[in-house]
Amino acid sequence: MSKHGLTEFDAVLAIARRGSFRAAALELDLSTTALSNVIGKVERQLGVRLFNRTTRSVSLTDAGRNFVDQIGPAVQTLHDAMGAARSQQETPSGTLRINAFATGAREVLGPLLLKFLRRHPQVHIDLVTEGRIVDIVAEGFDLGLRSADLVPSDMIAVPVGPPRSFAVVASPEYFKANGKPRVPPDLLRLACLRIRLPNGALHRWQFEKDGQPVQIDVQGPITLDEASLARITVLDHVGIGYFMESDVREDIEAGRLVRVLDDWTPLLAPLCLYYPSRRNPSAAFKALIDMARSPAN
């Protein structure tokens, strides 16, 4: 094993965690070939096979499972010790991995993350967006970004960004030709853009007024799963869309889109950066959290 790092141990643990050489190689920023060579070297040194490999799958052998169980806690302790030493640096540097959903990432990218990078040019942010909610610890992320009501209870949450709400919009031309909805059920007679969620289900548009929630299963000519595609579609006068207000704010202000049913779309839970408790955060991690906590950034 290397005397100067934990590369071989990290490689074994990453493959065990991911169940895939390719996914582990991406996590470790190695080529698949280089990772395979590292594992081959470890297995030769140990004299046992750690993984069963086929063209379709990778699984631990009994020896591999015992090895992983024994080295996992020790490797984490060593990483913590190395992180504590690195955290003494005065200048934030290195990589911060953040998992977010796409709309939330768009909301904080400019006001927080890009501003942070300009202030700390030696830091690299690896921002991964996906609809599913992941275990940020198990997946190797430093931070997550979700709505406050979706943050796991064992995490530390830092609210970020301005107030949030949904917005129901269409082009002025569409409303001129078809009329505006006054209450949510009016949407049932109009063409609406259907929304497919990350799990494949169709989203029912959510409304609330005076404490009374309403869900509308809208109908329309097209189903989409990405806000940028929906924006293009409503700007082309196809129908009414349901967005995070931040995604269409500039279009509303410029008059390209008209918002309706404002009184049925109350404020939502704020966005939060969240993370597990850590005793020795890196300088970069601490700097980002400090910026997020600062009202003026």
Sorting pLDDT into bands at 50, 70 and 90, what band is 1?
very low
How does pLDDT run across 242-288, given as a tens digit for each residue?
999 999 999 999 999 999 999 999 888 889 999 998 777 888 999 99
In angstroms, the Cα distances linking 4 to 78, 82, 226, 294 are 12, 12, 45, 38
| 276 and 258 together in one domain | no
How does pLDDT run across 81-101, given as a tens digit for each residue?
777 676 656 688 889 999 999
How many residues would you count in the chain? Answer: 297
Q: How many helices (H) and strands (E) does the chain have?
A: 10, 14
| 243 and 175 together in one domain | yes
| 140 and 227 together in one domain | no
Handedness of CA 138, 144, 148, 154 (dihedral sign): positive
| 53 and 199 together in one domain | no
- Mean pLDDT calculated for residue range 213-227: 94
Domain that holds residue 33: 7-86
CB 184 within 8 A of CB 205: yes
| 109 and 199 together in one domain | no
| 187 and 157 together in one domain | no
| 63 and 195 together in one domain | no
Q: In the chain, which residue ranges form alpha helices assigned H by DSSP? A: 7-18, 21-28, 32-46, 62-86, 102-108, 115-119, 172-178, 227-235, 245-254, 283-293
DSSP of 207-223, one letter per residue?
EEETTEEEEE----SEE
Q: Is residue 1 part of a domain?
A: no
Q: Is residue 2 part of a domain?
A: no
Q: Which pTM was predicted? A: 0.65
The amino acid present at 209, given as its one-letter code, is K
DSSP state at residue 92: -
| Structure token pair of residue 60 | 């631990």
| 250 and 171 together in one domain | yes
Q: Is residue 117 part of a domain?
A: yes
Report the distance separating Cα 265 and Cα 245, nearest Å: 10
CB 99 within 8 A of CB 144: yes
Q: Is residue 256 part of a domain?
A: yes
| 158 and 278 together in one domain | yes
Report the distance separating Cα 211 and Cα 20, nearest Å: 48
Question: Number of structural domains, the chain?
Answer: 3
CATH number of the domain enclosing 281 = 3.40.190.10
| 189 and 238 together in one domain | yes
How does pLDDT run across 114-146, given as a tens digit for each residue?
999 999 999 999 999 988 888 998 888 999 999
Non-local (6+) Cβ contacts of 255 within 8 A are 172
